Amino acid sequence: MHKEFVLTDWIRITRAFNEIEGEGIITDKGNTCCQSCGAHELGSDDTPYVFFHEQDELDAFGDDAETLDSDLYLSYSDAGTAITAVGILRDHGLQASWDGDINRRIRIAV
C-alpha cells in the first residue's frame, strides 16, 4: 500500500534549516553532544550558526524521532541570526520564538 506523505516536525525543521543555510548561516541538527561542544564546533570561525544538540533532540522528539513531544531549544551565534532563524522557522509552520535576550535560546513550542 502507498504510504501517505506526512509533513512531520522533523521535515519542517529540515526544510527551515536548509533555507537558513541559504542565508549563509551554518545549521546542525543534533550532531553535537552539548551546547558548549556545538558552539565550539560550529563557531570556530566568524560564520553565524544555529543548532540544537543531541540531548536537546532526545529530550524534545518523541519515540518516532519525527514529532516534537516537548519544546525544542536552539542555540545561535548572535541576535541577528536568531531573528533570521525565527522568521524562517515560522514560515515553515513552526511555533518558533525568541525573547530578544541573547542569554536565552530560541524556542520551538509544541
Q: Decide if residue 58 touches Zn ion (CB under 5 A).
A: no
* Residues between 8 and 47 with contacts to Zn ion, criterion CB under 5 A: 33-34, 37
How far apart are CB 79 and Zn ion at their closest, in Å?
A: 24
CA 99 to chain centre: 16
User: Which lies closer to Zn ion via its Cβ, residue 11 or residue 34?
Assistant: 34
How far apart are CB 66 and Zn ion at their closest, in Å?
A: 25
User: Which lies closer to Zn ion via its Cβ, residue 33 or residue 110?
Assistant: 33
- Decide: residue 50, CB within 10 A, 0-12 exposed, 13-18 middle, 19+ buried: buried
How far apart are CB 49 and Zn ion at their closest, in Å?
A: 15
User: Which lies closer to Zn ion via its Cβ, residue 31 or residue 97?
Assistant: 31
Phi, psi of 80 (to 5 degrees): -60, -40
> DSSP assignment of 27-73, as one string?
EEES-SSSHHHHHHHHTSSS--EEEE-HHHHHHHB-TTSSSBSS-EE
Interacting residues with Zn ion (CB under 5 A): 33-34, 37
